[in-house]
Structure 1
Amino acid sequence: MSDTEQYWYNLTTKQVERGFESPAVDRAGPFATAEEAAKAPELLAERSRAWAADDAADDNWGTPAKGSSGDASDR
């Protein structure tokens, strides 16, 4: 599928575009259909939440679980 056959979501205008109608900095995609591109804001929000949760888990990798003092008697 060529780039002109794919759809993009314009983050500035909030419109679905086919092909390279706007600068790359303004576009999210590509998507196979206009319907998928229209759902880009929800998809981006979902991915952002997942990445934030992963980052939080990474930040706490050495922290004992709640209710655990971390010593051998807890095991």
Structure 2
Amino acid sequence: MTDDDHLWFYCISDGSVRQGKEARGVDRMGPYPDRATAARALEIAAERNKAADKSDDDWNN
């Protein structure tokens, strides 16, 4: 059992949420502390991208 076996991951290839590193690394987002957070992986990524884009815009202007 590895340290990541208790953490949660989002699998982008099929949209599933899995505990532990069952999916290939290229298909995995995470780790997340719980199932609910892992289920929001795409939403979290979109929020972070939006914040990074705003930061870039602020820097450039």
Equivalent pairs counted in the alignment come to 60
In structure 1, the residue matched to 2:22 is 21
Root-mean-square deviation over aligned CA pairs? 1.4
Q: Partner letter of residue 23 of structure 2?
A: S
**What is the TM-score when the length of structure 2 is the normalising length?**
0.87
Q: Which has the higher contact order (CA 8 A, sep 6+)?
A: 2
Shift of residue 39 of structure 1?
1.0
**In 2, distance between residues paired with 1:16 and 1:23?**
13
Moved over 4 A (4+): none
Question: Structure 1 vs Structure 2: percent identity of aligned residues?
Answer: 33
In structure 2, the residue matched to 1:57 is 58
- Larger-Rg structure: 1
List runs of 5+ in structure 2 lacking aligned partners.
none
In structure 2, the residue matched to 1:38 is 39
Shift of residue 25 of structure 1?
1.4
Higher share of residues assigned helix: 2
CA distances 1:5-33 after superposition (whole Å, capped 9, x unpaired): 00000112111011111111111110111
